[in-house]
């Protein structure tokens, strides 16, 4: 740990937390610090170091993508989805971010004692249906049961393997100055759907999660010959974390326009009420695509065929030091910074 940041004379700062906080899983800077200082350091290897959504490995005669993700969500069933479908979509999407065609998933269940069988069956059926819909097979698995109170109903881990059938190199490191940045739909819906249910917030209309598989969209872009430099799904930390991760990985500057970023009106309203930034709210069926400028309009048209809200939100420039800038609604430019831990609603 960096001793220089610690000022022993000052009684206030908490420079290094001695315990894991929920904020360490929030998708912000604290999570990145945890991953950087522990996991990346301990497990260091070239595939991991790319920090892609899925690792891409060359095997004799073929190229595969490999990824894993754990799903902990309360409530287990929410408007627009549930933990089962999310556990399939999330891992399928991680593979898609490497440009892979998803093939096989594993599924590991950590079940809390006392969970009604009926509930578990609903989750399993939802996974089965999602897997069918995504054309992937769940080919291996594991089951553990923990004491009552040691889990939250059910936690699911899925790992996924996909095959890469094209010659493009899609990774954060391949982003170039001049690239156009696109998103495949409106952002922030999943997080607000969960929060509305979890906190018992009642809005006029129900916000539904955007949980959905995106691999078909990506494969279509590839088939159309779009020069894709990088894809990143907008999960925890939302668009803001995704853009900061890419800018940091490639040491280039990302510029986006607030007005160009699609946010649905009900999501925007809910965020305003709670003092949250929709650009930091998680999605489960959205990604940012960094594509060559020459193909940007064609890529946008393809994305819009699937979701009319898809939009071109900005471009990459060579400015250094690397940063993410946003042009505000009234035309001024500011930094779009990653949040520290989880977003905390403001007092007033």
Give the shortest CB-263-to-other proteins separation in angstroms. Answer: 9
Q: Out of 25, 33, 34, 152, which residue is the one contacting other proteins (CB under 8 A)? A: 33
Instruction: Give 254's strand partners.
Output: 316, 324
Task: Give the list of residues 6+ apart from residue 206 with CB closer than 8 angstroms, or none.
Answer: 79, 193, 196
**Interface with other proteins, residue 8, by CB under 8 A:** no
**Interface with other proteins, residue 25, by CB under 8 A:** no
**Interface with other proteins, residue 149, by CB under 8 A:** no
Question: Which strands form 253-257's sheet, in the order they lie side by side?
Answer: 228-233, 287-291, 180-183, 311-317, 253-257, 324-327, 333-335
Rounded Cα gap, residues 138 and 152, in angstroms: 23
Task: Give the list of residues 6+ apart from residue 95 with CB closer than 8 angstroms, or none.
Answer: 53, 54, 65, 67, 101, 102, 160, 161, 162, 215
User: Interface residues for other proteins in 188-227 (CB under 8 A)?
Assistant: 199, 201
Give the shortest CB-101-to-other proteins separation in angstroms. Answer: 39
User: Interface residues for other proteins in 103-142 (CB under 8 A)?
Assistant: none
**Interface with other proteins, residue 42, by CB under 8 A:** no
Q: Out of 1, 3, 22, 205, which residue is the one contacting other proteins (CB under 8 A)? A: 22
User: Interface residues for other proteins in 53-112 (CB under 8 A)?
Assistant: none
Specify the residue, 122 or 327, whose C-beta has the smaller distance to other proteins.
Answer: 327
Tokens, residue 216: 């078909």
Strand ranges inside 44-136, DSSP E: 55-59, 62-71, 77-78, 81-82, 101-112
User: Interface residues for other proteins in 265-284 (CB under 8 A)?
Assistant: 265, 268-269, 272, 274-275
Cβ neighbourhood burial of 73 (10 Å; 0-12, 13-18, 19+): buried
**Interface with other proteins, residue 1, by CB under 8 A:** no
Question: Which residues bind to other proteins, rule: CB under 8 A?
Answer: 5, 7, 9-15, 17, 19-23, 29-30, 33, 199, 201, 265, 268-269, 272, 274-275, 321, 323, 325, 327-335, 337, 340-341, 344-348
């Amino acid at each position: 740990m960096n001793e220089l940041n610690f000022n022993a004379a000052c009684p206030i700062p908490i420079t290094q937390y001695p315990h894991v906080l929920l904020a360490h899983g929030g998708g912000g800077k604290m999570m990145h610090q945890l991953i950087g200082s522990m996991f990346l350091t301990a497990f260091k290897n070239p595939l991991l170091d790319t920090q892609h959504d899925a690792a891409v490995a060359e095997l004799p005669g073929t190229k595969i993508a490999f990824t894993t993700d754990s799903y902990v969500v309360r409530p287990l069933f929410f408007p627009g989805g549930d933990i089962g479908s999310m556990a399939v979509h999330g891992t399928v999407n991680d593979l898609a971010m490497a440009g892979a065609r998803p093939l096989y998933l594993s599924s590991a269940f950590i079940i809390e004692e006392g969970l009604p069988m009926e509930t578990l069956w609903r989750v399993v059926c939802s996974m089965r249906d999602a897997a069918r819909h995504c054309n992937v097979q769940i080919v291996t698995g594991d089951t553990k049961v923990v004491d009552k109170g040691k889990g939250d109903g059910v936690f699911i881990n899925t790992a996924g393997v996909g095959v890469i059938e094209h010659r493009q190199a899609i990774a954060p490191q391949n982003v170039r100055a001049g690239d156009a940045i696109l998103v495949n739909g409106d952002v922030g819906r999943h997080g607000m759907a969960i929060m509305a249910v979890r906190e018992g917030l009642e809005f006029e209309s129900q916000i539904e999660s955007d949980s959905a598989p995106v691999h078909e969209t990506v494969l279509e872009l590839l088939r159309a010959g779009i020069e894709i430099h990088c894809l990143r799904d907008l999960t925890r930390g939302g668009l803001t974390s995704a853009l900061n991760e890419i800018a940091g990985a490639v040491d280039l500057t990302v510029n986006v326009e607030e007005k160009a970023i699609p946010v649905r009106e009900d999501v925007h309203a809910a965020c305003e009420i709670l003092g949250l930034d929709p650009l930091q709210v998680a999605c489960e069926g959205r990604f940012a695509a960094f594509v060559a400028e020459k193909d940007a309009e064609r890529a946008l048209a393809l994305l819009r065929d699937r979701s009319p809200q898809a939009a071109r939100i900005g471009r990459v420039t060579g400015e250094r030091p690397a940063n993410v800038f946003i042009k505000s609604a009234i035309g001024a430019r500011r930094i779009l910074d990653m949040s520290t831990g989880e977003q905390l609603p403001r007092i007033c």
